[in-house]
């Protein structure tokens, strides 16, 4: 039998021969030897199975799930506060459904293997499936949220909350409405959620694709290069301007003059004052698209003023957003600094929400090209999870992972049947109850289990209690014990746990 | 330009030539012509995109989601009542993780395309990922639930609630415990959930893989054929015995005598009496495995008697369950008949839950083969959804898809700013509020929106109200209107909607 070391040595031989550009048939002979040795390894090779989740993915433990539920509840409550319905779509779509929607990011889509039948891909976001859903069901008017996992074959950076499988929490408003009213609500939602989660200071950057396109036009970017130059601008939050400029000029063939003109604009950020200033800008104000975008941006800021949230909003000309489908307002929320010393900076700073207007996407699916204007926001939950996890870790807070109200315990041996009868009564009455799965557990072990898991009450059956028709109810925190008549037990437990 | 009809005619020509076994280069020439015509079609061909979800999958509309939430809540409440924690795992696993766990069903696994990197498959159930999770984290003791979608390339029958993407709701108990206590709890859980959902009469069939294997042994089935014969027995709920017998003898090469002996056993079903009878069976009682299984089955029935649920439990020797990993008790819950005339029989009858003991699965993942005994139940939600949907459809019940408490409306034009200010106040106070996204909506349209969506209250701002510092609050159902001081509005809305 070949052993692993021999296989490795043989592989080295093959590699060396290739490097030395040996005769092809000599290499072929050694390769054949190698393959034979590998085949001989057989079962042993099989046992080398690595016990892990796929790259860029993770499990959630019960404790992580408890934190996740908290974050989800805050987000879902906000979406419901704004009157959203909820939908769900399949985890995969026809490959064609995703084609041509994501620009340069398309290479990150997970495809399914062709096993005979339709060609499928895992969803890359929740926006394209939403647009497909609207077109398919001829819906022209809906406000919905959707919370689900999406998939991107990106370079994972898990300590910073970047995964290949991750949740998106999307809220979108579809329909033909008066300008900027739904757009303003999306920003209000981001503001509400980030405020409620107490993640520290944040800023919501806002821009408009029409302003960007107008800017590209007046800077002398050819029409055909708008989208790719837009992708470059999008990298400004991760790369310095000089590198972005090199990419524009070097890789993307933009003239240095045009790049420099862009460079001047993308430094600008501010509020209503900047909008007014640009509306007076001799070049931009001559461009129809830019003028439209700036007019709407002004309206948006007026509405945000009524909402009282302009303090955290910045009109930022460097914001571009990577995705192809945006047509109007775009925005992105970033965490600014750590509020909490225990949270590592790498986790606490960066984008946690984004979105914008995509008036053309539904029309790409509609057989007659009918458009349904849409605007929406996506909350990126993974980074928020990471921050919350680190906060909980650093705090003294003990998180319960179950809601059990009472442990059904026995004080003596041979009472399994009595425990089973009692717990069955409690379950049927809606009480959350557990018992140890042992015939004769020690009372100490039963009490310890309550300490470990945070169960507040113990219902103890013993021979004397059975005779007396009572159950001994013990409060774990105080060690107080009272005899409760069996028929009053359910009420007693409900009363004592009603605050939780 | 080629048109579609011409392309079709050309394709027919190619087909005809092939059938007539024409000269290869003549065919090649016509094929080339065909391809060229198809290429000319170009964009037109592209627009032939079919707007649909992948085969065997579906979207959930807001109304369906409302029903889904109800079913989930009943199930989650039950799992929590039994003290379960919750976990989550990725939607895909390393392909190797799933290999060799599902027997003949493995062909139904969805693989991902090899895009360079790990070979991945979509999860086929939640049990194997759970076992992988336990082994990976060296957990020897946990009671958890997991609700998530799983994927099977099966023949979909969507009207009967059979999909390729479907939810499983799993509850499992892992750990070394005294026999049959966790197993009995799993059956109690199935009983509680099916009772609460009021789906009509049901029966939980129970068997044990050890009894099956013992039975196969005493019937003369060779060891190597146990699993495949087990798969055949599993089909008895869909096929008559004669067909199953043919499969055993014809396809699987079992001797007709052995098949007939199996045929006698698999007709048997009953309760404690049948267990006692089989414990006396001269052949079965001599088989160590069968005897163990029967002893545990007796214990299980004793516990189920204490739970008061034996009325819906049937010990059934024809129950086999398809999956490879079961090692002890197995069970399956079936709906027996329709309680409700509006539910089609095809939906209302069939398996809605299943599970069993799998003591070896975790050991298959542990590097040292350490075993963690497990037992669990999986609730198959899709058929239950279908039944609930049909029930709701048939009833007069109007399902709300939002929780909005109040619509912020205006009685006159030019009050958009006032509406925005008021709704912002309400949102910030935690009130669920909506407004129409129009600058100047008609009051009638605003009231109609409340009627359509079930919003109970309208807060109307008008010029007079603004002067007086009040808001007119209208109860949609009664058309009653009262002026409420602006500072009391939040309290008033909370009071009036607190019952919901």
Contact list in A for residue B144 (CB cut-off 8 A) is: 62
Tell me the shortest Cα–Cα distance from A175 to chain B, in angstroms.
Answer: 9
Of all residues in chain B, the percent with pLDDT exceeding 90 is 76
pLDDT digits (tens, 9 = 90+) for A472-481: 999 999 999 9
Across the interface, whether the CB atoms of A431 and B114 are under 8 A apart is answered no
A26: confidence class by pLDDT, cuts 50, 70, 90: confident
State ipTM: 0.86
Q: For residue B192, give every residue at least 6 positions away whose Cβ sits within 8 Å of its Cβ, in sequence order, or none.
A: A427, A428, B78, B81
B426 has a pLDDT exceeding 60 = yes
* The two structure tokens encoding residue B92: 């895909």
A348 has a pLDDT exceeding 60 = no
Contact B236, B268 (CB under 8 A): no
pLDDT digits (tens, 9 = 90+) for B215-250: 999 999 999 999 899 989 988 888 899 999 999 999
Does the CB of A79 have a partner CB in chain B at under 8 Å?
no
Across the interface, whether the CB atoms of A62 and B85 are under 8 A apart is answered yes
CA gap B363, B135 in Å, rounded: 7
> Searching chain B, which residue's CA lies closest to the CA of residue A182?
B437
Contact list in B for residue A305 (CB cut-off 8 A) is: none
Contact list in A for residue B133 (CB cut-off 8 A) is: 59
Contact B336, B200 (CB under 8 A): yes
- For B427-439, b where at least 16 C-beta lie within 10 A, e where not — what string? beeebbbbbbbbb
Does the CB of B430 have a partner CB in chain A at under 8 Å?
yes
A43 has a pLDDT exceeding 50 = no
Of all residues in chain A, the percent with pLDDT exceeding 90 is 76
Q: Which span out of A43-57, A370-384, B42-56 was modeled with the highest average pLDDT?
A: A370-384
Average pLDDT over residues A339-351: 59
Instruction: Identify the pLDDT of residue A186.
Output: 98
Of all residues in chain B, the percent with pLDDT exceeding 70 is 88
Mutation target vs A (from B420, B433, B435; most A CBs, 10 A cutoff): B420
CA gap B16, A299 in Å, rounded: 66
**Parallel, antiparallel or unpaired: strands B470-475 and A85-86:** unpaired
Least confident of A96-105, A427-436, B343-352: B343-352
Q: For residue B415, give every residue at least 6 positions away whose Cβ sits within 8 Å of its Cβ, in sequence order, or none.
A: B461, B462, B463
CA gap A467, A427 in Å, rounded: 23
CA gap A179, A182 in Å, rounded: 8
CA gap A336, A202 in Å, rounded: 5
**Parallel, antiparallel or unpaired: strands A406-410 and B165-174:** unpaired
Contact list in B for residue A367 (CB cut-off 8 A) is: 47, 51
Q: Scan residues 404-423 of B and list those with Cβ closer than 8 Å to A.
A: 404, 416-417, 420-421
B10 has a pLDDT exceeding 80 = no
Tell me the shortest Cα–Cα distance from B485 to chain A, in angstroms.
Answer: 20
Instruction: Identify the pLDDT of residue B138.
Output: 97
Contact B108, B51 (CB under 8 A): no
Cβ contacts below 8 Å, chain A against chain B, sum to 232
CA gap A95, A218 in Å, rounded: 37
A342 has a pLDDT exceeding 60 = no
Of B457, B412, B409, the residue nearest B435 (C-alpha):
B409
CATH code for the structural domain at B406-496:
3.40.50.800
Contact B482, B473 (CB under 8 A): yes
Of B491, B200, B89, the residue nearest A54 (C-alpha):
B89
Give the class (CATH, top level) of A62-394: alpha beta
- Which one of A62, A136, A165 has the shortest CB-CB distance to B51? A136
Are A62-394 and A406-496 equal in CATH topology? Answer: no
- Which one of A52, A96, A367 has the shortest CB-CB distance to B136? A52
Coil, strand, or helix at residue A343?
coil
Instruction: Identify the pLDDT of residue B5.
Output: 58
Element (H, E) at B95: helix B95-98
Average pLDDT value for chain B: 91
Instruction: Identify the pLDDT of residue B395.
Output: 87
Contact B7, B37 (CB under 8 A): yes
- Which one of A87, A93, A438 has the shortest CB-CB distance to B62? A87
The ranges assigned to domains in chain B are 4-46, 62-394, 406-496
Please give the residue that has the higher pLDDT: either A106 or B348: A106
Element (H, E) at B92: strand B92-94
B1: confidence class by pLDDT, cuts 50, 70, 90: very low
pLDDT digits (tens, 9 = 90+) for A275-323: 999 999 999 999 999 999 999 999 999 999 999 999 999 999 999 987 7
Please give the residue that has the higher pLDDT: either A336 or A459: A459
Instruction: Identify the pLDDT of residue B105.
Output: 85
* The two structure tokens encoding residue A61: 């433990």
Q: State phi, psi for A86 to the nearest 5 degrees.
A: -130, 140
Q: For residue B482, give every residue at least 6 positions away whose Cβ sits within 8 Å of its Cβ, in sequence order, or none.
A: B472, B473
A104: confidence class by pLDDT, cuts 50, 70, 90: confident
CA gap B323, B374 in Å, rounded: 15
Instruction: Identify the pLDDT of residue A1.
Output: 41
Tell me the shortest Cα–Cα distance from A136 to chain B, in angstroms.
Answer: 6
> Searching chain B, which residue's CA lies closest to the CA of residue A428?
B192
Of A320, A332, A395, A351, the residue nearest A161 (C-alpha):
A351
Instruction: Identify the pLDDT of residue A131.
Output: 97
In A406-486, at which residue ranges do the beta strands (DSSP E only) sit?
A: 406-410, 433-434, 457-461, 470-475, 481-485
- Which one of A52, A96, A149 has the shortest CB-CB distance to B94? A52
Does the CB of A308 have a partner CB in chain B at under 8 Å?
yes
Q: For residue B458, give every residue at least 6 positions away whose Cβ sits within 8 Å of its Cβ, in sequence order, or none.
A: B406, B407, B408, B409, B446, B447, B450, B473, B474, B476
Across the interface, whether the CB atoms of A113 and B117 are under 8 A apart is answered no
CA gap B476, A474 in Å, rounded: 50
Average pLDDT value for chain A: 91
**Parallel, antiparallel or unpaired: strands B165-174 and B142-151:** antiparallel
B398: confidence class by pLDDT, cuts 50, 70, 90: confident
Helix axes B181-197, A416-428, angle to 10 degrees: 20
């Amino acid at each position: 039998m070949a052993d692993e070391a021999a296989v490795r040595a043989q592989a080295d031989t093959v590699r060396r021969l290739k490097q030395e550009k040996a005769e092809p048939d000599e290499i072929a002979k050694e390769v054949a030897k190698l393959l034979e040795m590998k085949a001989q390894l057989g079962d042993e090779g099989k046992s080398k199975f690595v016990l892990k989740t796929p790259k860029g993915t993770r499990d959630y433990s019960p404790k992580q799930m408890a934190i996740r539920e908290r974050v989800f509840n805050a987000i879902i409550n906000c979406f419901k506060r704004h009157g959203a319905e909820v939908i769900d779509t399949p985890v995969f779509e026809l490959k064609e459904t995703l084609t041509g929607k994501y620009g340069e990011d398309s290479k990150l889509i997970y495809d399914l293997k062709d096993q005979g039948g339709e060609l499928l891909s895992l969803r890359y976001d929740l926006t394209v499936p939403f647009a497909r859903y609207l077109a398919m069901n001829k819906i022209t008017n809906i406000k919905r949220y959707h919370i689900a996992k999406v998939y991107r074959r990106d370079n994972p950076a898990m300590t910073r909350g970047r995964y290949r499988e991750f949740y998106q929490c999307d809220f979108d408003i579809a329909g033909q409405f008066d300008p900027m009213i739904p757009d303003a609500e999306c920003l209000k939602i981001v503001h509400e959620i980030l405020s409620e989660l107490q993640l520290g200071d944040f800023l919501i950057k806002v821009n408009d694709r029409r302003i960007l396109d107008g800017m590209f036009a007046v800077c002398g970017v050819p029409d055909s290069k708008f989208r790719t130059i837009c992708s470059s601008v999008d990298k400004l939050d991760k790369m310095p301007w000089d590198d972005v400029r090199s990419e524009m000029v070097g890789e993307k063939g933009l003239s240095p003059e045009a790049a420099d003109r862009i460079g001047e604009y993308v430094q600008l950020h501010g509020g209503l004052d900047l909008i007014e200033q640009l509306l007076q800008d001799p070049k931009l104000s001559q461009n129809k698209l830019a003028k439209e975008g700036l007019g709407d941006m002004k309206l948006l800021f007026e509405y945000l003023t009524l909402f009282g949230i302009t303090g955290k909003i910045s009109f930022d000309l460097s914001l571009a957003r990577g995705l192809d489908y945006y047509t109007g307002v775009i925005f992105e929320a970033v965490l600014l600094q750590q509020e909490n010393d225990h949270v590592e900076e790498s986790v606490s700073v960066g984008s946690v929400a984004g979105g914008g207007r995509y008036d053309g996407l539904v029309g790409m699916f509609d057989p007659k090209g009918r458009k349904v204007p849409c605007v929406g926001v996506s909350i990126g939950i993974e980074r928020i999870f990471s921050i919350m996890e680190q906060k909980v870790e650093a705090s003294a807070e003990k998180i319960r992972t179950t809601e059990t109200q009472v442990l059904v315990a026995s004080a003596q041996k041979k009472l399994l049947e009595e425990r089973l009868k009692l717990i069955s009564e409690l379950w049927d009455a809606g009480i959350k109850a557990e018992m140890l799965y042992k015939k004769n557990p020690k009372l100490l072990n039963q009490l310890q289990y309550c300490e470990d898991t945070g169960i507040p009450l113990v219902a103890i059956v013993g021979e004397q209690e059975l005779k007396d028709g009572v159950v001994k109810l013990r409060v774990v925190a105080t060690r107080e014990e009272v005899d409760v008549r069996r028929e009053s037990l359910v009420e007693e437990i409900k009363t004592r746990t009603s605050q939780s």
